[in-house]
Amino acid sequence: MRTLNPAMKFVTLLCVTFVLAFRYNPVLNLAVFALCMAALLISRVKPKTLGLLMLPILLAAVGMFFTGYRFSADASMPVAAADFLVSNSQVWNGVAQASRVLAYAGVGFLFTLTTDRILMVKSFEKQFHLPQVWAYGLLAAWGVFPQAVQEYKRTRAAFRARGLSVFPVSPALMKPLLVKSVRWSEELAIAMESKGFSGEEKRTEYMEVRVHARDWLFLIFCVALVCVFSI
């Protein structure tokens, strides 16, 4: 999964989500979720990281199950023992809603956890003709983000050293971070202009991102597999 072209991977998974959006089939949703989890483990994503990310998703899936169960078209009260049969429309509706949450989460994790962000921007710029200004902006923002995290930690430590207690999203913490972000963006813009970076001039690339045969095979295989499961 990590060797696939990010643009082609994005198109493939987007097609899968479109198919899931127009199909009301819990079996299809659970099959997509299982395949995504298997692909993530094969791609050497840490099980601990995956488990922590899945905790809120599982909570949302449980909530969607009870929502779909309670508000199905033929919901009856009080709840009887027969209502817990899988063939019952209430349980089927709840499973369909919960499995859809799992399927979408699996597809999203499959893209985000197996895609390099720099390679993704370069791929979008090459295959989707993303403007260079936008590509430079995304790369610059990701470069500044670690500095913003460190500045946030230093500001919070400074408040603690003075014996002041502030909320994690307090304006007292956000104002210095906002001022620093504006200063960093100005310095970065001046530095890029001084080095000759421009969004209008054509330039050579030190690493050219191409679409290979395996990317087309991945697209065809995934779309065909989802269509077969949806029949």
d(CA 157, CA 125): 40
- Residue-wise pLDDT for 88-113, tens only, equals 577 888 888 899 999 999 999 999 99
Task: Give 13 or 132, the one with higher predicted confidence.
Answer: 13
Task: Give 103 or 230, the one with higher predicted confidence.
Answer: 103
Name the residue among 63, 85, 62, 88 with its Cα closest to residue 75: 88
- Residue-wise pLDDT for 127-182, tens only, equals 888 887 788 778 877 878 888 888 888 888 888 888 888 888 788 888 888 888 88
Query: Is pLDDT of 59 > 90?
Result: yes
What confidence category does residue 72 fall into, taking pLDDT thresholds of 50, 70 and 90?
Answer: low
Query: Is pLDDT of 80 > 50?
Result: no
What confidence category does residue 9 fall into, taking pLDDT thresholds of 50, 70 and 90?
Answer: very high
Cα torsion through 130, 131, 136, 138, rounded to 10 = -50
d(CA 2, CA 49): 17
What confidence category does residue 85 fall into, taking pLDDT thresholds of 50, 70 and 90?
Answer: very low
Query: Is pLDDT of 84 > 50?
Result: no
For residue 135, how far is the Cα from the chain centroid?
19
**Mean pLDDT, residues 113-118 taken together:** 88
d(CA 109, CA 37): 9
Judged by average pLDDT, the poorest of 3-12, 31-40, 69-78, 142-151 is: 69-78
d(CA 6, CA 216): 12
pTM, full prediction: 0.76
Residues 6+ apart with CB under 8 A from 210: 5, 126
DSSP 117-172: HHHHHHHHHHHS---HHHHHHHHHHHHHHHHHHHHHHHHHHHHHHTT----TT-HH
d(CA 35, CA 106): 8
